[in-house]
A and B are shown apart, each in its own frame.
Chain A
């Protein structure tokens, strides 16, 4: 069990550019979540996958955001035409399907700065 990993850890981009983040969940965890965290706030839910199916999306996930989990393993989060308000920490979490169904384990996050 190597934990949830995220890549890159930091990303600086210019406004209007597209960015893509990757998340690798704990192996055999079939549930994967994306959250966004801004300074001084707790994480806010963006979207949730069970295997490859995207089952839940927050209103925070605007049309410029898209998430995929094509083979039910790793996931990507893409932000198109980035805006300064997109600057935040993007966190990925995963959970299993057994007794730890509701226990979400987080990765280290990707810090996005839009200039």
Chain B
């Protein structure tokens, strides 16, 4: 099935650094979601975005819904060891009555203490 282009695929950062990752699609979405997944567990919802240009924060996390509706960005400020995991973006187009999410392949984040 269709997947989103998520970058970078992986990143190693020092504790305390800021992190940026993004997600692009060839199709427009009217909802963007960001999830974090730990090994052997299900994805945990971090942030939901509903409007083009919207900027939403959740603690040290900030996400933006791109103006073109084909991209989204996630920033993590002042990273800590528990930020380690795989971050997934997911887009949804409910125009045809569909509620399925289309996921990227994930960005694997490693934090060096």
A-side residues, CB < 8 A to B, are: 4, 6, 31, 33, 35, 40-45, 48, 55-56, 58-60, 91, 93, 95, 100, 102-109, 111
Residues of B within 8 A of A33 (CB): 99-101
In chain B, positions 86-113 with a C-beta closer than 8 Å to chain A are 88, 90, 92, 94, 97-106
Beta-carbon contacts of B30-67 to A below 8 Å, as 1s and 0s? 01010100001111110010100000000000000000
Known: A42-B88, A44-B1, A56-B98. A109 touches B41 (CB 8 A): yes
CB atoms of B40 and A45 under 8 A apart = no
B3 interface residue per 8 A CB criterion? yes
Partner of A42 from B40, B45, B48, B103 at Cβ < 8 Å: B103
Tell me how many residues of B have a C-beta within 8 Å of chain A. Answer: 29
CB atoms of A45 and B102 under 8 A apart = yes
Residues of A within 8 A of B43 (CB): 43, 91, 106
Known: A43-B43, A107-B42. A102 touches B92 (CB 8 A): yes
| In the complex, number of A-B residue pairs with CB atoms less than 8 Å apart | 72
CB atoms of B105 and A102 under 8 A apart = no
Distance of B25 from chain A, by nearest CB (Å): 13
CB atoms of B106 and A48 under 8 A apart = no
Distance of A17 from chain B, by nearest CB (Å): 23
CB atoms of A60 and B48 under 8 A apart = no
CB atoms of A102 and B88 under 8 A apart = no
CB atoms of B99 and A106 under 8 A apart = no
Closest to A101 in B: B99
Closest to B108 in A: A40
A-B contact pairs, 10 of them (CB 8 A): A33-B100, A41-B3, A56-B99, A60-B1, A102-B31, A102-B33, A102-B50, A102-B94, A104-B33, A108-B40
Closest 8 CB pairs of A and B: A42-B103, A106-B42, A45-B100, A102-B31, A109-B42, A106-B43, A108-B42, A103-B48
